[in-house]
Amino acid sequence: MLWAVQIRAFQQRGTAERTLHFPFKHAHDQRCGSGKNILIISDNCYCTTHEKMAFTMNAAILSIGDEVILGQSVDTNTAWLSSQLAEIAISPIEHRTVVDDRAAISLAVRDLAMRADCVILTGGLGPTDDDQTRDALCDVLTPDQQMVSDEQALRWLDEWFARHGRHMPPTNLRQVQRPATMRCLPNPHGTAPGLAGRFEQCLIYALPGPPTEMKPMFTEHVLPELLPQASNEVLLTQFVHAFGIGESEAGFRLGDLTARNRHPLIGTTVSDSILTARIRAHGAQEEVTKQVEEDAQRVEQRWWPYVYGRGEMTLQRAVGALLKQCKKTLTTVESCTGGLLGKMLVDVPGSSAYYLGGWVTYTNELKTTCMAVPGEMLKAYGAVSAEVAAAMASGGLANVDADYALAISGIAGPGGGTPEKPVGTVFIALAQLNDQRVSVASRRFVFFGDRMQVRDRSAKAALQILRFALLDLPEQPPLLWQVQPKAVSAKGTIS
């Protein structure tokens, strides 16, 4: 097969056509000929023409800091800025990180400004000698001039220290310095004013490193300046989340929805055991909103019942919403998770409406004294068993006037495993009260990963088991990592 290949150089700025080519790993069978699709290749980024996103503006993000380079601090600013830019159809084309070095920052700014319409810097605006962003920008924008003191920025700084009842140290005066051609951006949340200016045709913004200062400064001062220059088209992304289904099984269920030549484009990722479908579309607002919504519903239908929410929704929030909707309450009894399940639940504001509290019965003694787990049962089956987990859950309901009790007992590791019960073996029991009768079901899992992963997956699996019960599904679906037989069940009465 012959391919018509069009080469476009995007290293230099100023071209009339501003087109972003997102990286796709697979080329599709496109026939050559007049009016047909052709393959676009551009500096390791390529896609078919029907997949490209035409944006009128692009941007590069430069994060600054020794602590970021050394891995001592995680750069969350860049990811957040990229998502904000993409929402207004400004395409991020590069992320770069440099140390707190004047020459390194200057070099990076010059290089990025040659290829981007906008460069956003974060970090290096503090009052100490290692904060070099201002000096570096002066070297780039006004190399023959000294920095100037900004009187308005000085007033902001005086007001900030006065509000906090503090005296301003002389070192903070560095923060009111700026290159002569730049202007300062107010920062009511900290002492570092931002900077805004232009290098040739490229917009330059320097924002403080702390996210609590950077985000409001971008939203209130940078974004309004970028909006008039952005494309009339929008880039919309929706996230659909699921837990307890394997990525390969989820991909099989999606089928043709994940074809790389369709629009919207759907891809999947896994993070902290949460499976997410990313649905991305670009175009006119009304059209793409409809397309994304339709595809989100398709994903939810194909991943049901493992799918629990969209966007910022967490599994614990989804479960909490169901508990409130059903007017049910919950208590927890934990061993290997050490209170992690309870923490997840109370991380949600308003959780006191449905979560009554719980116990961490880490030792056999506490299992017996607090949950009335028989000593004979512990000797016969061991603390990590379906029988003990069920007894823990039943004990939780006996002690608290709740509708549900979740119990977790397992071996989080790294030691303590046996051939019969290897590290990662966890039993999760759900006890449910209906008309003064208690029904209990236990599930066995073998979770892979380190100690924290085993505990995290155990807590999330417990939440999903409760969610399935609240949905009143005709059958309880098996979860990833679950070992057959599916459950050990028991029934009894509560007096």
* pLDDT tens-digit series, residues 357-373: 999 999 999 999 999 99
- Under the banding of pLDDT at 50, 70 and 90, the label for residue 399 is very high
> Rounded distance, CA 73 to CA 194, Å?
21
**Quick check: 252 pLDDT over 70?**
yes
Q: What percent of the chain has pLDDT over 70?
A: 86
**pLDDT attached to residue 233:** 75
> Rounded distance, CA 262 to CA 280, Å?
11
Range list of β-strands (E), 49-150? 57-64, 90-98, 118-122, 148-149
* pLDDT tens-digit series, residues 128-163: 999 999 999 999 999 999 999 999 999 999 999 999
The DSSP 8-state label assigned to residue 40 in this structure reads E
pTM above 0.85, yes or no: no
**pLDDT attached to residue 485:** 59
The mean per-residue pLDDT over the stretch 70-87 comes to: 93
**pLDDT attached to residue 36:** 31
Q: Which of 23-32, 406-415, 461-470 has the lowest mean pLDDT?
A: 23-32
What's the farthest any 2 CA atoms get from each other in the chain? 86
> Rounded distance, CA 231 to CA 228, Å?
8
Name the nearest CA neighbour of 198 among 69, 328, 103, 109: 109
Range list of β-strands (E), 11-56? 39-42, 45-48
Instruction: Say what angle helices 102-113 and 133-141 make with each other, to 10 degrees.
Output: 50
Mean pLDDT, the chain, integer = 88
The DSSP secondary structure of 223-268, one letter per residue, reads HHHHGGGS-SSEEEEEEEEE-SS-HHHHHHHHGGGG-TTSSSEEEE
User: Is omega for the bond preceding 485 within 30 degrees of 0, making it cis?
Assistant: yes
How would CATH label the architecture of 236-310? 2-Layer Sandwich (3.30)
**Quick check: 44 pLDDT over 50?**
no
Do 57-229 and 315-493 share a fold?
A: no
The mean per-residue pLDDT over the stretch 290-302 comes to: 98
**pLDDT attached to residue 352:** 98
- Under the banding of pLDDT at 50, 70 and 90, the label for residue 234 is confident
**Quick check: 422 pLDDT over 90?**
yes
- Under the banding of pLDDT at 50, 70 and 90, the label for residue 27 is very low
Return the CATH number of the domain spanning residue range 315-493. Answer: 3.90.950.20
Sequence spans of domains, the chain: 1-54, 57-229, 236-310, 315-493
**pLDDT attached to residue 282:** 85
Q: What is the CA radius of gyration of the chain?
A: 28
Question: Do the beta carbons of residue 452 and residue 419 sit within 8 Å?
Answer: no
The number of residues making up the chain comes to 495
Name the nearest CA neighbour of 429 among 419, 418, 440: 440
**pLDDT attached to residue 10:** 34
> Rounded distance, CA 225 to CA 10, Å?
24
Burial 410-430 (b: 16+ CB within 10 A, else e): bbbbeeeeeeebebbbbbbbb
Question: Do the beta carbons of residue 314 and residue 463 sit within 8 Å?
Answer: no
**pLDDT attached to residue 163:** 94
CATH superfamily of 57-229: MoaB/Mog-like domain (3.40.980.10)
Q: Token digits for 3? A: 């391919």
Evaluated on CA atoms 407, 409, 414, 418, the torsion sign reads negative
Write the single-letter amino acid at 177: Q
The mean per-residue pLDDT over the stretch 316-336 comes to: 98
Q: Which residue has the higher pLDDT, 102 or 230?
A: 102
> Rounded distance, CA 273 to CA 270, Å?
6
CB atoms within 10 A of CB 359: 23
Name the nearest CA neighbour of 426 among 368, 360, 482, 377: 482
User: Is omega for the bond preceding 414 within 30 degrees of 0, making it cis?
Assistant: yes
